[in-house]
Structure 1
Amino acid sequence: MRTVTVVGHRGDPYRVRENTLGSIRSALARGADAVEIDVRLTWDGVPVLLHDDTLRRLWRVDRPLASLSLAEVRELTGPEGVPTLHEALTAAAPHRVMIDLPGATEQSVRAVVGAVRECDAEDRVYYCSGAPAMLLVRAADPAAEIALTWTTLAPTRPVLIDAVAPRWLNYRFGLVSAALADRVHRDGLLVAAWTADTRRSMRKLIGNGVDSITTNRVDTLNSVLTGART
């Protein structure tokens, strides 16, 4: 029977603040197979979990992350605040972790790939983002598993696929039809979709043949998958 990977979007953000250790643990406790996290660098080059380029939305501190050291981030967000990538990989073990790289640069990608190696986590980490970031990942780690984020219905260019060598194509959920999934599968790739939160969208994706769904509602997706199997 075909299986669908359940990926917690930034952990379990409807219950626990996104991209925190508590959110990661909550998603895994509710049955996620993997968690998706966003990683950026502090001023002193430490990979930490944050989607935005400032602390304003999540932490009510209007300071750019790139201007803050790790020590300052700790002081501003508290003991349960912004975690390092090392801490997140430890908290998620032995589960899979999908690392998104907003604002990726060559420096940040090399730091993230280096941290993954230091944690001996290469076999359970994969990376997602658009082509520029994924080309940087491929340059930094020729063996990295990549989910190339694709935001249009236009087929990916063969030259790009050759350069990135992704295992997955990662689509916004509304783009995924059965025909698209079939085309991607014929090309030898897996289909991932983000970020589906309603039962209707989840059922449609499952019926259309996706291999992975990223969601803010892990428990809902698991209940839909259980129903689909019975």
Structure 2
Amino acid sequence: MRTVTVVGHRGDPYRVRENTTASIRSALARGADAVEVDVRLTWDGVPVLLHDETLRRLWRIDRPLAALSLAEVRRLTGPEGVPTLYEALAAAAPHRVMIDLPGATEETVRAVVGTVRECDAEDRVFYCSGAAAMLLVRAADPAAEIALTWTSLAPARPVLLEAVAPRWLNYRFGLVGRELADRVHRDGLLVSAWTADTRRTMRKLIDNGVDSITTNRVDTLNSVLTGAPT
């Protein structure tokens, strides 16, 4: 029977603050196969989990991450605050982690790939983002598993696919129909969709043949997949 990978979007953000170790653990406890996290660098070059450029939305501190050292981030967000990528990989073990790289630079990618290697986590990490970031990942790690985020119904150019060598194409859920999924599969790639939170959307994606769904509602997606009532 075909299976669909359940990915917790930034962990379990409807219950626990996103991109924290507590959120990661909550998503996995509710049946996620993997968690998606966002990684940026502190001023002193440490990869930490944060989607935004600043601490304002999540932590109500209007300071840019890139201007803060890890020690300052610790002081501002507390011991259960913004975790390092090292801590996040440990919290998720032995499950898979999908690393998104908003605003990635070559420095970011080198630091992230280096941390993944240091944690001996290459076999359970895969990376997602747009073409520019994924080209940097491919250069830093020729063996990396990549989910190339694609925001158009138009096919990716063959020269780009050859350079990035993704295993997945990662689409906003509204773009994914049966025709698109079939085309991607014919090209030998897997289809990932984000971020689906309603049962109707989840069922539609499953019916259209996706291989992975990223969601803020892990328990709901699992209930759809198993046919269990909510």
TM-score above 0.5: yes
Equivalent position of 2:75 in the other structure? 75
Equivalent position of 2:51 in the other structure? 51
Equivalent position of 2:90 in the other structure? 90
Q: Secondary structure at the match of 1:26?
A: helix
Q: Secondary structure at the match of 1:132?
A: helix
Instruction: Name the aligned partner's letter for residue 141 of structure 2.
Output: D
Identity rate, percent? 89
**Following the alignment from structure 2 to structure 1, what is the Cα–Cα distance between the partners of residues 60 and 109?**
27
Unpaired segments ≥5 residues, structure 2: none
Q: Secondary structure at the match of 1:154?
A: coil
Residue correspondence of structure 1 range 203-222 to structure 2 within 5 A? 203-222=203-222
For residues 14-35 of structure 1, the C-alpha deviation after alignment (integer angstroms, 9 at most, x for no partner) is 0000000000000000000000
Q: How far apart are 1:90 and its partner, in Å?
A: 0.2
Instruction: Name the aligned partner's letter for residue 30 of structure 2.
Output: R
Answering whether residue 31 of structure 2 is matched by residue 31 of structure 1, we say yes
Equivalent position of 1:136 in the other structure? 136
Q: How far apart are 1:215 and its partner, in Å?
A: 0.1
**Following the alignment from structure 1 to structure 2, what is the Cα–Cα distance between the partners of residues 184 and 92?**
29
For residues 173-198 of structure 1, the C-alpha deviation after alignment (integer angstroms, 9 at most, x for no partner) is 00000000000000000000000000
Residue correspondence of structure 1 range 1-12 to structure 2 within 5 A? 1-12=1-12
Equivalent position of 1:112 in the other structure? 112
Q: Secondary structure at the match of 1:104?
A: coil
For residues 77-107 of structure 1, the C-alpha deviation after alignment (integer angstroms, 9 at most, x for no partner) is 0011000000000000000000000010000
Instruction: Name the aligned partner's letter for residue 139 of structure 1.
Output: A
Q: Secondary structure at the match of 1:180?
A: helix
Q: Secondary structure at the match of 2:227?
A: helix
Equivalent position of 1:170 in the other structure? 170
Moved over 3 A (4+): none
For residues 137-180 of structure 1, the C-alpha deviation after alignment (integer angstroms, 9 at most, x for no partner) is 00000000000000010111000000000000000000000000
* TM-score (norm. length: structure 1): 0.99
**Following the alignment from structure 2 to structure 1, what is the Cα–Cα distance between the partners of residues 198 and 151?**
20
Q: How far apart are 1:128 and its partner, in Å?
A: 0.1
**Following the alignment from structure 2 to structure 1, what is the Cα–Cα distance between the partners of residues 137 and 64?**
24
**Following the alignment from structure 1 to structure 2, what is the Cα–Cα distance between the partners of residues 162 and 33?**
28
Q: How far apart are 1:208 and its partner, in Å?
A: 0.1
Q: How far apart are 1:227 and its partner, in Å?
A: 1.3
For residues 27-49 of structure 1, the C-alpha deviation after alignment (integer angstroms, 9 at most, x for no partner) is 00000000000000000000000
**Following the alignment from structure 2 to structure 1, what is the Cα–Cα distance between the partners of residues 92 and 30?**
13
Q: Secondary structure at the match of 1:39?
A: strand
Answering whether residue 66 of structure 2 is matched by residue 66 of structure 1, we say yes
Residue correspondence of structure 1 range 7-18 to structure 2 within 5 A? 7-18=7-18
**Following the alignment from structure 1 to structure 2, what is the Cα–Cα distance between the partners of residues 183 and 129?**
21
Equivalent position of 1:149 in the other structure? 149
* TM-score (norm. length: structure 2): 0.99
Instruction: Name the aligned partner's letter for residue 117 of structure 2.
Output: R
